Every structure is written in structure tokens, then in C-alpha cells.
Amino acid sequence: MASTIDKEKDIILGIDTSCDDTCAALVQKGRTVLANIISSQDIHKKWGGVVPELAARKHLEKISIVVTLALREAKLTWNDIAGIAVTSRYGLACALLVGVAMAKALSFAQHLPLVGVHHVEGHLYSNFLEHPEIAFPHISLTVSGGHTLLILVQEAFAYEVLGQTVDDAAGEAYDKVARYLGLGFPGGPAIDRLAKQNTEPPVAFPSPMLDSGDYKFSFSGIKTAVRYYVDRLAPDQLKTQLPAIADGFQRAVVRVLVSKAMQAAEAYGVKTITLSGGVAANSYLRAELIRTAGEKSMQVYYPSICYCTDNGAMIAGLGYHKFLQGCQSDLSLDIEPDAFLPITTH
């Protein structure tokens, strides 16, 4: 295995198999996305949520294909690649294992340096693929199916986690509520679409921990409130009320996300907020954060939809900077499914 990245080369292969998307991307200089291949797994739809064992099996089937497709799309060969970055920290254990095993095998076979990175740090980095101008310090709200975190990003790659969810992640709540409403999986995009169609007053649901005075979140209460509400409805009532329920649920979730992000930005005197993670694709969250932050002359950044949900580009981009900082993993690289985002990394 090579000891460091070849300074003449600047293209990194990024691999992510942390959940239910098999991802491989090629990114030049941490910014220019040459290929971003994502194979999403339909197999979970019938279970209404990600089944880890099935996810791992699908990753095994697809991982070589997505890497080959990435090289083909970018019209590159292994000789053009400087190094390999892979999500080794945070995610489903058996799913992570596939990506890490693939990255280690490629590193060995192609004599390329390897670096394991944290999935959430990848989501944070996704904003920099398109917006390298983002100022420090800033507040980052990162919301997905697996995590909900409010982070003070003091400088590049230096994080202070201000708060996180005490139970369900925001995306998990979207997915479970979508299941109660019979909308399929993943639920976030379906609820987003349905809420937009609502012409009735939205059903009122609570926003737990809105006034808790800290940066913690809780979404299981909203989810349960929707469940109780739905259980009381006859099937035809449920059908007609679906958009108003979706709208009400989404408002309750977004209210607390936006409110805490704004509180953090004001408390730390920062003028920039970034959104990332799968739920950052949500149109109402984006609009509400822009509106509320705009009232305080704050700027909001979020990635294009294809970089909100899991992708290899954010991992390759982050990996490039990790290599430049001298980070490197060897073939003993192991998965750390529960690894917390380091309070401060350099």
C-alpha cells in the first residue's frame, strides 16, 4: 500500500455503504465531482424501513458495479486515482463492513493509500463541494435517517456538537410517520410532496423540546402523536386528511429544527447556517430556514439534493482533505458503527 497520496494526482475515490445506498464517486481536488454513482435499495420498501442484513447483502452485490461505473463515467483508470476514502465510522455495522472491505481490497490491489472517514463529517463536508466560500464559524444542522445534530463548526474540520436527538432522528420520524400514513419508504420525500398539496388547515401536532433551553431534540413524541391521531380515523377520513396530517407533522418537525438552529446561531453570534443530511432535501425545511434566517440577515447553505442523501462525493471530497492533513489508515482499518463525531478534529 502506498504511504501517502501522490502529489501529482488529486482524484480520490469515495465509497459509502453506511446505510441503504451503495455509493462510489470520483472527486478532484476535493471539489470537482467527476462521477457520483448511487445505487439505492428498493428491497426495504416492503418492510417500511432499512433491514441491515438485507442492506449488507445488496451492498455486496452492487459495490463492484458502482466503483466500475464511477471509473467508466469519469473516463479514468486506476492510474489516475490518488487515494481511496471510505466511510468506516457511523452507520449500520454489517453495511459499513462491505464498503470498508472493498476499500481495503482496492487499496491493497491498486497500491493506493486509504483513509477511513466519519459519515456525519462527510454530510457536513457536502456543503463545501458546491460552496467553498462558506464562512467560519458557522452553525451546522445535520439531519438524516440516522442522526440529528446541531454543531458549531469553529473552523475547517473543527466541530463542537451542541446537541442531538435524545431518541429518533428526524428522518427516522419522517419514515415512521410515512409508514403510518401508508406512503411507503423512504417517507421523507413522500411527506414533503403530500404536505405541499394540502389546502386545509394543517393538523396541529406538538413540537417536543421546543422550549427546552438547550440544543437537544426529540422526535418520538411527534411520531406517537401522529399514530394516535391516525388510529382514531376511519379509512376514508384518513384518505381525505392525509395532506393535512403530513403538513401538520412536517410543520411540527421543522418548527423545532429551525428554532434551535436559530437559537444556536444567535447564541454563538454566527451569521451562517448550513444544512446537510437526507432531511436537508426537504423543501419546507429549506424554505423556513431561509425565511427565518433572512429576517436576521443570516445566510443559509444547503447542498444539491443529490449530495443531501448518502453519496460517495462527500466522502471523496472529505477524504482528499484528510489525506492533505496527513491522515491515513492501514489495512487494519475497522468499522466503528457508533463512533461519535469527534468534538474537535484537525
DSSP code per residue over 7-18? TT--EEEEEE-S
C-alpha cell at 8: 501529482
Q: State which residue, 139 or 191, has the beta carbon closest to ligand KG4.
A: 191
Q: State which residue, 62 or 147, has the beta carbon closest to Zn ion.
A: 147
2: helix, strand or coil = coil
Which of ligand KG4, Zn ion, none binds 279 (CB below 5-8 Å, type-dependent)?
A: ligand KG4
Binding part of the chain for ligand KG4, among 25-33, 126-134, 143-151, 209-217 by CB under 6 A, reads: 143-151
Looking only at residues 104 through 163 of this chain, which bind Zn ion when binding is defined by CB under 5 A? Answer: 144
Query: Other C-beta atoms within 10 Å of 2: how many?
Result: 14
Pick the binder of ligand KG4 from 48, 145, 208, 243 (CB under 6 A).
Answer: 145
User: For residues 281 and 284, what is the distance between their CA atoms, to the nearest angstrom?
Assistant: 9
The reply on whether position 277 binds ligand KG4 by CB under 6 A is: yes
Q: Could you tell me which residues come within 8 angstroms of residue 255 by beta carbon, excluding any fewer than 6 positions away? A: 207, 210
Q: How far is the CB of 79 from ligand KG4 (least distance, A)?
A: 32
Looking only at residues 90 through 119 of this chain, which bind ligand KG4 when binding is defined by CB under 6 A? Answer: none
Query: Other C-beta atoms within 10 Å of 45: how many?
Result: 11
The interface mask with ligand KG4, positions 303-332, x = CB under 6 A, is ------xx----------------------
Question: Closest Cα partner for 219 from 209, 232, 231, 228?
Answer: 209
Binding part of the chain for Zn ion, among 231-239, 240-248, 291-299, 308-316 by CB under 5 A, reads: 308-316
Query: Other C-beta atoms within 10 Å of 247: how many?
Result: 22
Binding part of the chain for ligand KG4, among 62-70, 142-150, 202-210, 215-223 by CB under 6 A, reads: 142-150
Q: Distance of CA 245 to CAs 144, 219, 238, 242, 251, Å?
A: 21, 16, 9, 5, 10
Q: How far is the CB of 2 from Zn ion (least distance, A)?
A: 29
The reply on whether position 288 binds ligand KG4 by CB under 6 A is: no
Q: State which residue, 71 or 279, has the beta carbon closest to ligand KG4.
A: 279
User: For residues 144 and 12, what is the distance between their CA atoms, to the nearest angstrom?
Assistant: 25
Which of ligand KG4, Zn ion, none binds 157 (CB below 5-8 Å, type-dependent)?
A: none
328: helix, strand or coil = coil
User: For residues 22 and 39, what is the distance between their CA atoms, to the nearest angstrom?
Assistant: 5
Q: Is there a contact between 260 and 215 (Cβ–Cβ < 8 Å)?
A: yes
The reply on whether position 310 binds Zn ion by CB under 5 A is: yes
The interface mask with ligand KG4, positions 166-185, x = CB under 6 A, is -----x--xx----------
Report whether the peptide linkage leading into residue 137 is cis, meaning its omega lies within 30 degrees of zero. Answer: yes
The interface mask with Zn ion, positions 72-101, x = CB under 5 A, is ------------------------------
